[in-house]
């Protein structure tokens, strides 16, 4: 097995190489090739081409018995032009690892290699999933539909997170990350001259009424003890200063921790849109797509991660509770709908390192010192699951 120094150097070198060569969802061909080669060299039985570019490595432990544990790392980048100044910036115009998936892949390979080197210590089976298209492409669901969860008993995954200081581990039982849905509302009125509004059905005015009315859903239809977000993030209408627009198009996102809320919120939204448009004499189209379910951690698996993290970094560097939750979304929740598991954060923020920008920013970067921590915590959590009944 490699020394700690050599392992860390390889970990960082791998992450930087992947960072320089980002690939969007379902296009991760180079990344998948690197992953498959490393897994085969470590002794895994490797399948490629799952959900187009996904890779799964399977390895049986040497101690006999035990569960089948799925470990997951996502591989895709985002369509963002990088604006960092470090020496390993993206070499692909308009594409960037702006969420940390380059680190996730590198961490996943390091954990896979550690488990392989110590396979006589654990029983059961590891199924390491390297997933494409987490960023809105429903890659997890595509891989599940192609059988990656067959025979799986438990699941673990992690996300490097600039919302926490570098090396801090954040985990909680129950809801951890929100569901994500996206909506498109098209309002069709009647255009006309800006000086003669009485001859028109003003799509801009109606759209503005809809935007304001939608805010009543969270404030008046969601319990104050629950959390939800309805955000209108784009309002497109009109092209001239003296022309009343006949059409307005609203785009946005809906987030919630509760599965029932995921179903009720879009129904409530459409009732509001229909009511406003009917009152104003307009027509509408309402389109809604549920991208991901909430990411809900199994309580016992969250305890396993907490114990592993405390062993690695100490109890004072573990945040365990609802304060680490976020309304950001993650399609790892698809796995957790089907098997008990846990998803957790490893802090990646560092002001001295300049790693202070939010995920999906063109300036995004991580403090790479968090990566060995992530490897050790995930490995220890995996060993606890593989060597005991959880």
Q: How many CA atoms does the CB half-sphere of 31 hold within 13 Å? A: 36
Residue in 172, 205, 208, 170 with CA at minimum distance from that of residue 190: 205
> Active site residue: 28, 52, 102, 134, which one?
134
- Report the DSSP pairing between strands 341-349 and 247-256: unpaired
> Active site residue: 28, 52, 76, 102, which one?
76
Query: Can you tell me the distance from the alpha carbon of 328 to that of 211, in angstroms, rounded to the nearest whole number?
Result: 21
Q: Which residues of 138-172 are buried (b: 16+ CB within 10 A; e: fewer)?
A: bbbbbbbebebbeebbbbbbbbbbbbbbbbbbbbb
Residue in 235, 249, 233 with CA at minimum distance from that of residue 182: 233
Q: For residues 342 and 171, is the Cβ–Cβ distance under 8 A? A: yes
76 is catalytic: yes
153 is catalytic: no
Residue in 319, 313, 294, 360 with CA at minimum distance from that of residue 83: 360
Q: How many CA atoms does the CB half-sphere of 139 hold within 13 Å? A: 27
Q: Angle formed by the axes of helices 370-386 and 101-117, to 10°?
A: 50
Question: Which residues are catalytic, by number?
Answer: 76, 134
């Amino acid at each position: 097995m490699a020394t700690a120094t050599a392992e860390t150097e390889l970990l960082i070198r791998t992450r930087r190489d992947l960072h320089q060569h980002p690939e969007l969802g379902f296009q991760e061909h180079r990344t998948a090739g690197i992953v498959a080669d490393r897994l085969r060299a470590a002794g895994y039985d490797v399948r490629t081409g799952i959900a187009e570019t996904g890779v799964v490595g399977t390895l049986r432990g040497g101690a006999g018995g035990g569960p089948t544990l799925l470990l997951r790392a996502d591989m895709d980048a985002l369509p963002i032009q990088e604006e960092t100044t470090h020496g390993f910036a993206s070499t692909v115009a308009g594409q960037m690892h702006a969420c940390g998936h380059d680190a996730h892949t590198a961490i996943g390979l390091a954990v896979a290699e550690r488990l392989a080197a110590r396979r006589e210590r654990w029983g059961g089976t590891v199924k390491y999933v390297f997933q494409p298209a987490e960023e809105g492409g429903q890659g997890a669901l595509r891989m599940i539909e192609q059988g990656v969860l067959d025979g799986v008993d438990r699941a673990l995954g992690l996300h490097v997170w600039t919302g926490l200081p570098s090396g801090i581990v954040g985990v909680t039982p129950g809801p951890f990350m929100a569901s994500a849905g996206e909506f498109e509302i098209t309002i069709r009125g009647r255009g006309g001259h800006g000086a003669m509004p009485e001859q028109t059905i003003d799509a801009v005015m109606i759209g503005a009424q809809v935007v304001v009315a939608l805010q009543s859903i969270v404030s008046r239809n969601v319990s104050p003890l629950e959390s939800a977000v309805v955000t209108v993030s784009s309002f497109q209408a009109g092209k001239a200063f003296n022309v009343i627009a006949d059409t307005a198009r609203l785009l946005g996102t809906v987030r919630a921790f509760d599965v029932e809320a995921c179903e009720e919120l879009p129904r409530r939204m459409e009732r509001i849109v229909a009511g406003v448009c009917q009152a104003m004499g307009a027509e509408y189209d309402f389109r809604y797509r549920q991208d991901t379910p909430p990411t809900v951690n199994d309580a016992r698996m969250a305890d396993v991660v907490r114990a592993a993290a405390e062993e690695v970094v100490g109890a004072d560097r573990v945040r365990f509770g609802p304060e680490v939750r976020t309304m950001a979304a993650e399609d790892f929740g698809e796995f957790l709908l089907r098997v008990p598991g846990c998803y957790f954060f490893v802090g990646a923020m560092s002001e001295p390192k300049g790693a202070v920008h939010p995920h999906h920013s063109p300036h995004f970067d991580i403090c790479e010192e968090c990566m060995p921590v992530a490897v050790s915590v995930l490995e220890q959590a995996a060993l606890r699951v593989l060597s005991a009944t959880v």
